[in-house]
Structure 1
Amino acid sequence: MESLNVWAVLVAAIAMHMLGAIWYSPIMFAKAWMQACALTEQQLAQANMAKLMLGTLLLCVLMAFNLAMFIGGTDVNWQLGALYGLLAGFGWVTLALLLLALYEQRSWRYVAINGGYLSLGFTLMGAIIGAWQ
């Protein structure tokens, strides 16, 4: 890899963070996710949202940086970046989540909601990083 495009990493991280805000919102999977995690609205209301948002954004930056280190290169376009992101998101992250969920006796709904977000998020980040070579 010749050089890392810091802007691509930052935009990819922000895109994944925004996807999470939509994915886990009431218009999508908030209620199903809360049921799958056995969380109540009262428990969530007690969380420090500023700390959560800053922490998740930082983690998105680290994940985008990691993905960029794997897929960076002049021969990667947005389609190949999206494919590599999907392979990382589903093949590594979601399957690892499934592995843990089996032992933790989590529901398939839990894996589908969280794994779906991670797979789609990595695909989106890969497309952005691949397009911005």
Structure 2
Amino acid sequence: MEFNFVAVLVASLVTLLVGFVWYNPKVFGTIWMNESGITEEKAKQGNMLKIFGLTIFYSLMLSSAVPSLVVHQMGAFAMVGGPAFADKALPSYAAFMADYGDAFRSFKHGALHGFTSGLFLALPITAINALFEQKSWKYILINAGYWIVSLTIMGAIICGWK
């Protein structure tokens, strides 16, 4: 099993695409701005090259970790040491991959694991930070919802794209 860098690269762009829709003023953007205390003037003062450049970088980091969350075979792949050692692995690895190499490798299954990753990782992290920042539940649900949707789509792409 090879690491699908193209799928990971495409999945890293999901955060931007979902963000353009999610934080649009006609969707959740206006509510998010009110709940976060950001004004349009303040938003326009931001360094967009820095913001979008780092967003792409961090999204690539995140999408690089998603395969271990959504592709079951990554556990077996990691047990033999990754791509450098796959050819030297015991015959049981080859037998396992022959039997289960594509098991649960679908967009639907990846979406399920992406969703649960968002629900059990992104929501608690977002909520904990927001609670200490004394933000509202609207703020928490908007931001966590964005990550849950993003990770669901990322999981679908990475798991289903063989």
- Taking structure 2 as the reference length, what is the TM-score of the superposition? 0.76
Query: What's 1:28 paired with?
Result: 27
CA contact (8 A) 1:16 1:124 kept: no
Query: What's 2:128 paired with?
Result: 99
Query: What's 1:109 paired with?
Result: 138
Query: What's 1:55 paired with?
Result: 54
- Bigger relative contact order (CA 8 A; separation at least 6): 1
Question: C-alpha deviations, 1:40-99, integer Å up to 9, x for none?
Answer: 111111001121111111111111110113323332211110011011111111122112
- Taking structure 1 as the reference length, what is the TM-score of the superposition? 0.92
Alpha-carbon shift at residue 15 of structure 1 (Å) = 2.1
Structure 2: give runs of 5+ residues left out of the alignment. Answer: 74-101
Deviates more, 1:81-90 or 1:100-109: 100-109
Question: 1:1-133 alignment to 2 at 5 Å?
Answer: 2-72=1-71, 73=73, 74-75=102-103, 76-133=105-162
**Aligned-partner residue type, residue 113 of structure 2:** Y
- The runs of at least 4 aligned residues of structure 1 exceeding 4 Å deviation read none
Identity rate, percent: 33
The aligned length equals 132
Counterparts of 2:160 and 2:27, CA distance in 1:
28
**Aligned-partner residue type, residue 60 of structure 2:** V
Q: What CA RMSD, in Å, does the superposition of the two structures yield over aligned residues?
A: 1.3
